[in-house]
């Protein structure tokens, strides 16, 4: 397991089975989605705190050949409007 900024670590990792990303509220930079797609992991697990940027990034991953396999909201902050979402994307 490697914990690092994906933009810095990804080019040096080589072949990957899976990638887990937990970006800030702004979501992933478009270049990062492309870099992940070039690494061609079988699955990408995306943990999001913002449904809008998650939707935008899912569309970017779809353009790169990934489709949502499962989406699960997680209520980490009860009694508030905040929700985390875990989305598993699979390469097709």
**What is the rounded distance in angstroms from the CA atom of residue 22 to the CA atom of residue 49?**
8
pLDDT of residue 17: 92
Active site residue 49: yes
Closest by CA to 89, choosing from 62, 63, 53, is 62
pLDDT tens-digit map of 20-62: 999 999 999 988 999 899 889 999 999 999 999 999 999 999 9
Q: Which residue has the tokens 């994307």?
A: 89
Candidate list 3, 38, 49, 87, residue with the active-site label: 49
pLDDT tens-digit map of 68-90: 999 999 998 889 888 999 999 99
């Amino acid at each position: 397991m490697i914990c690092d900024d994906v933009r810095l670590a990804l080019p040096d990792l080589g072949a990957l089975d899976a990638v887990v990303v937990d970006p800030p509220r702004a979501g992933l930079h478009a270049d990062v989605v492309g870099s992940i797609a070039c690494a061609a992991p079988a699955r990408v697990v995306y943990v999001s705190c913002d449904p809008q940027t998650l939707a935008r990034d899912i569309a970017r991953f779809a353009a790169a050949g990934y489709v949502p396999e499962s989406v699960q909201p997680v209520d980490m902050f009860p009694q508030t409007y905040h929700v985390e979402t875990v989305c598993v994307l699979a390469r097709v």
